[in-house]
Structure 1
Amino acid sequence: MQKFDHIDSLRGVAVLMVVLVHTGQTISNLAPDLEFATRYGQLGVQLFFLVSGFTLCLSMDSRAEKKFASTKFYIRRFFRIAPLYYVGIAWYFLVRLTQDSIQAGSPVMPERFEMSSVLANLSFIHGFVPGANNSIVPGGWSIGTEMAFYLIFPLLFLIIRKLATKGLQHLFNFFALTLAFSILVQGPATFLEMDEGPNRFMYYNLSNQIPVFITGIISFFLFKRGFLDRLPVIFALAGFIALTLLNIYLWRKNIPFSQTLVPALAGWSFVFLYVIFARFRSLNPALLRHIGQVSFSIYLVHFVFTRILGSVFNNLQQVGVSPEFILVMHFSLTAAVSYVIAIWTEKYIERPGIDYGRKLINWLDRASGAKQTSAVAFKTQ
């Protein structure tokens, strides 16, 4: 499969946006506009989702005709995510066990680590379990949503690939249908005020995030037909700015269904950002690309440092250090420390997991080949 440097760069941007929102949450007295800018960083998760939809199509398109394509897809995805996520479950259990025990003055089990929630996370169904979707691993909601998307991706790929042969209008109609579905699902929660806001269960759920993934798939077929390559950069820049400003307006006004519209519009704004990064090599420096390559590890490990360093840095306001300067220091140090640790976890946890998945696929190919050989030999006897 062809490797695109700008995709790694976009992953780097995505994880730095996520680090920004979580460092910003720990700093008090930020100027309102700056505080909102840090909050906008949470849409880095939607950038991850968009890139995921796009790159999965790249992979599936090159392997679609191979035997057991869907089975191999699920094996790759599981061993790409599960090893590090399982280590994350154990790590955050120890972190919270230590914190809660210190506060209680004696060893106590962390409140949120109920067996049902742990099992939901181990089986990756926590995106559909309100009490488990974000309570075990910080930010784990996005992993549950991503894994749920993986489950239906092969079918979505086939559907959208067929629609792409009929014309672009059919692709955009499918997106509109998906967005309408999300709004319909979110409707009761919105009007009954059951689950409003960008940090609640219904917001996290795949039913609300699916338009972003669909945008990633559609953008692949736009790329494949050369549409993205022909799009003028000035138009891409204008589109990115316009959709970002519209998103800010919707978010701040908190209009009905904004929790669905904001991530969906962010997805399309990031399609324009993709075009911009694809055209300018200067936007894809080696460091940013490498941050993107280890972004999954950074995503899972940075939460510890946002909390520890946040409490330390925030105290500097008492000696006259401005909250804006504290934010810069906090973000920079958290990103740097997380990056260094992520290099290690990517090498010793992520990569071995991916290699094991590859070996399992090779074994499946050999077993299938041996079975075919035996069947042919039997027929010729």
Structure 2
Amino acid sequence: MQVETKKYQYIDSLRGIAILLVILVHVQFIEGITPSISYFSPTAFQFMANGHLGVNLFFVVSAFTLMMSHQKRQYEEHANRNFFIRRFFRIAPMYYLAIVYFTFAYFVGFDFANIDWGDLPKKELILNLLFVNGFFPEYIHHYVPGGWSITVEFTFYAIFPFLFAKLKNINQFVIFTLVTLLISTIANFLLRGTSADINNFLGYYIITQLPVFSLGMLAYQLIADKEAIMKIKLSSLSVLAATILIYCYTSISYDFLYSIVFFLLLIILSRKAYKLFSNKILAAIGKVSFSLYLVHFAMMTVFNMFGCFRWVEEKITDSLSASLCFILGYICLFAVSFIISNITYRLIEVPGQNLGRKLIKKLDQQK
């Protein structure tokens, strides 16, 4: 059963919320703003730190939209080939531009990207170009800041057509979510204390994130088939609930619980698009969210290279001044990044996607 795309304009708004959260957690790394967090109350600090959950929201929304678009295109000739072409040209142009930028940033003296330039060939570069750095604990956070989420996303693309073909009803999606949680729990338990754990790999790699993607797929099934929830077997639901409890007890983080909140929000908005979560401003931000994700890291390097906010540090003397300085940093980082992202969206992302469409059309004409 298909979901009508036109009814889901709030999706861009959710992406907008996601990127606003991501930027929130990164403001603390702007030189001059960093001391402000020491004045935060535990609640304020936790709220800021939870900005990383924006990536989880991205993953839930991504899986949902992939289900929606692939459902519509599944009967295309060479549907899977076309899927990979579209996904590559959706991500690669802007990501490769980011690789070029952070290479340049290193050579002018700012190693924000944690690049190890001692080895030849440059493993980090090759792994990032192939979108496989997420399989290596020592490289998952290297080269492009935040690039770990892009390689995880690309890995999900690689297995998505298979999942789409095999999962046919709501109970199979519930079981898939159950299986991903079990695999994640076992893998993280076995890898604890290893170099993978030490390098903060377990909280990021595809095995940990796959249950989050599964929630987006499950949400699509529940929304596309309004009677689907009545078809879920009680036994499947009970085992899933028990597995979630075990996962949360043994997991390295509680991020999956927050992902369930995003899953529920997605379903709620499918019934009624509340303006708080679905409006033109958030949608405009969400439309350029991929560029914004990469550009805001780039702008942080610019701010730090030129010391744009170092003067702020001496102004931070109490919780009020700390909050005001942090808000100033947030507004400036977002505003500048948003302007540039609209430019890169039009000059890089859209032409890249158009190039993918032209390639598909050309390949179709060759048959």
Partner of 1:88: 98
Aligned partner of 2:154 among 147, 158, 178? 147
Checking the alignment, whether the CA contact within 8 Å between 1:314 and 1:323 is kept in structure 2 is no
Q: 1:327 to 1:209 in 2, by over 3 A?
A: same
Q: SS of the counterpart of 1:55?
A: helix
**Per-residue deviation, 1:264:** 2.4
Q: 1:83 to 1:184 in 2, by over 3 A?
A: same
One-letter amino acid of the structure 2 residue matched with residue 345 of structure 1: T
- Cα distance in 1, alignment partners of residues 343 and 262 from structure 2: 29
Give the structure with higher Rg (CA). Answer: 1
Unpaired runs of at least 5, structure 1: 102-108, 231-245, 369-381
One-letter amino acid of the structure 2 residue matched with residue 119 of structure 1: I
Count how many residue pairs are aligned between Structure 1 and Structure 2. 332
- Cα distance in 1, alignment partners of residues 182 and 60 from structure 2: 19
Partner of 1:266: 258
One-letter amino acid of the structure 2 residue matched with residue 187 of structure 1: F
Partner of 2:5: 2
- Cα distance in 2, alignment partners of residues 357 and 121 from structure 1: 20
TM-score with structure 2 setting the length: 0.83
* Paired-residue identity, %: 34
Partner of 1:377: none
One-letter amino acid of the structure 2 residue matched with residue 218 of structure 1: L
1:295 aligns with 2:299: no
- Cα distance in 1, alignment partners of residues 68 and 214 from structure 2: 14
**Per-residue deviation, residues 26-80 of structure 1 (Å, max 9, x unmatched):** 4321222211111111011011111110000111101111110000000000000
Aligned partner of 1:282 among 275, 279, 288? 275
- Cα distance in 1, alignment partners of residues 70 and 110 from structure 2: 45
Aligned partner of 2:108 among 98, 114, 118? 98
**Per-residue deviation, 1:292:** 0.4
- Cα distance in 1, alignment partners of residues 268 and 332 from structure 2: 28
1:43 aligns with 2:47: no
Partner of 1:174: 176
1:344 aligns with 2:354: no
**Per-residue deviation, residues 304-324 of structure 1 (Å, max 9, x unmatched):** 334554764464242347111
Aligned partner of 2:314 among 304, 318, 321? 318
- Cα distance in 2, alignment partners of residues 131 and 116 from structure 1: 11
1:205-244 matches, within 5 Å, as 205-226=205-226
- If asked which structure has higher relative contact order (CA below 8 Å, sep 6+), I would say 2
Checking the alignment, whether the CA contact within 8 Å between 2:53 and 2:258 is kept in structure 1 is yes
Q: SS of the counterpart of 1:99?
A: coil
1:127-146 matches, within 5 Å, as 127-146=134-153
**Per-residue deviation, 1:113:** 8.0
One-letter amino acid of the structure 2 residue matched with residue 322 of structure 1: S
- Cα distance in 1, alignment partners of residues 194 and 41 from structure 2: 29
Q: 1:129 to 1:325 in 2, by over 3 A?
A: same
Partner of 2:241: none
- Cα distance in 1, alignment partners of residues 353 and 229 from structure 2: 32
1:57 aligns with 2:83: no
Q: Following TM superposition, where does structure 1 have runs of at least 4 consecutive aligned residues deviating by more than 6 angstroms?
A: none
Q: 1:367 to 1:220 in 2, by over 3 A?
A: same
**Per-residue deviation, residues 181-235 of structure 1 (Å, max 9, x unmatched):** 1111111223x364458x82222110111011111111111111126999xxxxx
RMSD, matched Cα: 2.7
Unpaired runs of at least 5, structure 2: 231-243
Partner of 1:187: 189
Checking the alignment, whether the CA contact within 8 Å between 1:313 and 1:326 is kept in structure 2 is no
